[in-house]
Every structure is written in structure tokens, then in C-alpha cells.
Amino acid sequence: MNHQITTLFTETQVLERVAALAAEMAPRLEPEPIVLGLLKGALVFTADMLRALSRQGVKPLLDCMALASYGKGTISSGSIQVRMDNTLDLAGRQVLLLDDILDSGNTMSFAVQRLRDKGAAHILTCVLLDKPSRRQVSFAADFVGFTIPDTFVVGYGIDYAEHHRELPQVAACVPLGKGIS
Ligand code: IMP
Ligand code: MG
């Protein structure tokens, strides 16, 4: 695929930020919260956060949910579909909801409402990346890794058309014009 990949945050910077977020969040977490990651984008973030929380003495239970937002290209439509539901009973539990990127806000708003509907007693939200300039619905995450401008990013679990999830760093991904390689 013809793209220019430019590192925004190195693997070391990302892992240091994840460790710092875990340290920030630990005092607000119960001893055994449910950490719920949104697939597939937050898979890598969730895996690292789970272990970073362990280093802070937290003993989280892991859950996942896969949501899809329908829209053309990279524009969110606001219509969210549940592709794969979570499996743990959330009733009365503290849930730490993780996603890779907070963009229009549609995905996180939908997910928080769904967790409430399932009876979660207390919900905290954390995103690795926040693009506040692209918000369509009002939503603020409780914890943010990095605030970034309106740039399309890949790596660390985040994809462009399913590519580049394997990159250890977070990178900007700019499509090159046709005929340029
Ligand atoms: P929202 O519903 O518009 O807030 O979108 C959040 C979801 O859109 C994230 O979970 C990502 O999966 C996806 N997304 C938003 N921005 C990007 C990007 O720059 N690269 C890849 N995926 C993105
Ligand atoms: Mg996503």
C-alpha cells in the first residue's frame, strides 16, 4: 500500500505513557476492576495496560467488546453496531473502558451507555489517543494518553484498512498520490 508512515510516538514513549496512566488510574480503581477493551483497535493497548495495572498492585479482570462504526472511509457515521459482545457480568462492577482513539466520540458514548445498560456501577474511561478537534458528540475521557491533532494514525493495534496494526510505535499515515510509491 502506498503510504507514508511517520512515527509520532516511539514504542518507548508509548510504554512509558501507559505505565504513567496506570499509576494515575490505580488510586481510583477498586482492587479487582473489570478492564474492558474495545476490539480490535485497543487490543494492544489493553494488553499492555493490564500488565501496567498489575505492576500498580491492581488485579483486573479482562473483558472485550467489538464495535463497528458505519461510515464512508475514515468518517464515522454515528451508527454503531455490536460485532462481538463482552462476556463477564458487569452488574455492580467497576469497569475501566479502554479504546485506542477518541475521535467523533460516537464509539465511546455508545460503549458507556451499553455498560450502564448492563448494570456497571462505576465506569472510568481511558483512551490512548484523543483527537478533540474531530468531536461530533460531547465526550471527555477520564484519562488520555496523548492529545493529537486531526491526523490519521496507525500502529500499536491501530489500522488503516486492517494494515499496520503490528507496528510497535504510533505513526501518522498519509496516503501517497496514485503512481507514487
Ligand atoms: P469515534 O467513534 O469517531 O470516536 O471513533 C473511534 C474509532 O475510530 C476508534 O476506535 C478507531 O478504531 C477509529 N479511528 C479514529 N481515528 C482513527 C485513526 O486515525 N486511525 C485509525 N482508526 C481511527
Ligand atoms: Mg476502534
Give 19's DSSP letter.
Answer: H
E-assigned strand segments in the chain: 3-9, 34-39, 61-70, 79-84, 94-102, 122-130, 143-147, 153-154, 170-175
Whether ligand 1 lies within 6 angstroms of the CB of 49 is answered as: no
Number of domains the chain is built from: 1
Q: Which single residue is written with the C-alpha cell 505505565?
A: 19
Whether ligand 1 lies within 6 angstroms of the CB of 94 is answered as: no
Identity of the residue numbered 102:
L
Residue 59 lies inside a defined structural domain of this protein:
yes
Rounded Cα distance between 119 and 121, Å, is: 6
Rounded Cα distance between 7 and 1, Å, is: 17
Residue 135 lies inside a defined structural domain of this protein:
yes
Rounded Cα distance between 23 and 149, Å, is: 25
Residue 43 lies inside a defined structural domain of this protein:
yes
Whether ligand 1 lies within 6 angstroms of the CB of 158 is answered as: yes
Residue 24 lies inside a defined structural domain of this protein:
yes
Residue 31 sits in a domain of what CATH number?
Answer: 3.40.50.2020
Whether 30 contacts 94, CB under 8 Å: yes
Residue 174 lies inside a defined structural domain of this protein:
no
pLDDT at res. 76? 61
How many angstroms from the chain centroid is the CA of residue 15?
Answer: 14
Which atom of ligand 1 is nearest the CA belonging to 80? Answer: 2
Q: pLDDT by residue for the chain (181 residues), tens digit each?
A: 688 999 999 999 999 999 999 999 999 999 999 999 999 999 999 999 999 999 999 999 999 999 998 765 555 667 999 999 999 999 999 999 999 999 999 999 999 999 999 999 999 999 999 999 999 999 999 999 999 999 999 999 999 999 999 999 999 999 887 555 4
| Domain range enclosing 120 | 12-68+92-150
Residue 139 lies inside a defined structural domain of this protein:
yes
Which ligand does the CA of 102 lie closest to? 1
